[in-house]
Amino acid sequence: MPDLADDRPVPCEQARAYVDLWRAKRRPWERDLAERRAEALVEAAAAGGTPEPVASVDDLLVDGVPARLYRPAGGERHVLVWFHGSAWMIGDLDFCDPVVRRLANHARCAVLSVDYRLAPEHPFPAAIDDAWAATVWASERFRSVAVGGDSAGGNLAAAVALRARDHHIGLALQVLVYPVLDHAAVESPSYAAYRQRYAGFGGDPGFGDRHADGVRYIWEVYVPDPARRLDPDASPMQAASLRHVAPALILTAEHDILRGEAEAYAARLAAEGTAVDLRDYEGQVHGFFNQLATMSDARDAIDVSAAAVARAIARNPSDDERRSS
């Protein structure tokens, strides 16, 4: 979290129009959810631009969970399992289609995009159970598996990585893009500081309060039972140990309220012996990763993620390859 003594925070030029869009919506999470879901699909299509072609795209049911498998060449033996973001309440397979296509092409591996169940119709633990089922399915069919996601999807990827460790399923990498990691952060001094420091950010007098209130709201919708919000399946930071989880790439945005918990998670991973690469996008805001059509930072972040997956897969031999070596 930026120090309060710093100069007034300013969004980078690429992020200004995005901040203006959020200012116009006031409190988007508290609007009619069906309307918001429909609007989000239109926005995602515009933000993603022209989808890149891939060799094959197949809609599947993965242990009962809808999913979409992208193959850039056609015979890939390694896979990235991807969980879209948007507050555990919004999004589907079309929502993240442009991002997933670019990930597949640049990582040169298959990508399994997961249409996990959404809150409030299906509260916790429905989403993590679906994410886990898809990951187990992938582990039984591909030589190596990485997991990743943005925002709420990053939360699911981190929780899946913990389950994979506990169930002795090796993952090549976890890609966490400005992830939600810890409900306890909502009550932390850093959130209070964010409200103060980010009042007026980008010309929006309600920016700090709206984002802090928004995170609190989505937690309440996703995990209605307060007693379960610190369950490691919901708040991976609350796990007793992070030892022996998959290596991590964590991407943050400078002006994101979630940046502090991502940095804390990265520090804890490193302290407990897990390789972690933490990269911050200066001047950026939460949500930039999906803005391929307008932000070079989005394209760079996707390419950085894809390159990390490609390297991790190359370092992660299959069980058959281990036995033959």
Q: Which of 151, 190, 235, 305 is catalytic?
A: 151
The domains of the chain, with CATH numbers, are 13-317 (3.40.50.1820)
- What pTM does this model have? 0.94
Q: Is 168 a catalytic residue?
A: no
pLDDT at 26: 57
Residue of 130, 233, 256, 297 with catalytic role? 256
Instruction: Please enumerate in sequence order all residues whose Cβ is within 8 A of that of 90, keeping only pairs 6 or more positions apart, or say none.
Output: 33, 36, 37, 40, 118
Which residue among the candidates 106, 211, 255, 286 is catalytic per the annotation? Answer: 286
- Give pLDDT tens digits along the chain (325 positions): 444 445 689 999 999 988 887 777 656 666 789 999 999 999 999 999 999 999 999 999 999 999 999 999 999 999 999 999 999 999 999 999 999 999 999 999 999 999 999 999 999 999 999 999 999 999 999 999 999 999 999 999 999 999 999 999 999 999 999 999 999 999 999 999 999 999 999 998 889 999 999 999 999 999 999 999 999 999 999 999 999 999 999 999 999 999 999 999 999 999 999 999 999 999 999 999 999 999 999 999 999 999 999 999 998 754 444 333 3
- Does residue 151 have an active-site annotation? yes
- The reported pLDDT for the residue numbered 323 is 33
Whole-number pLDDT of residue 28: 62
Tokens of 18: 């995005």
The pLDDT of residue 2 is: 42
pLDDT of 137: 98
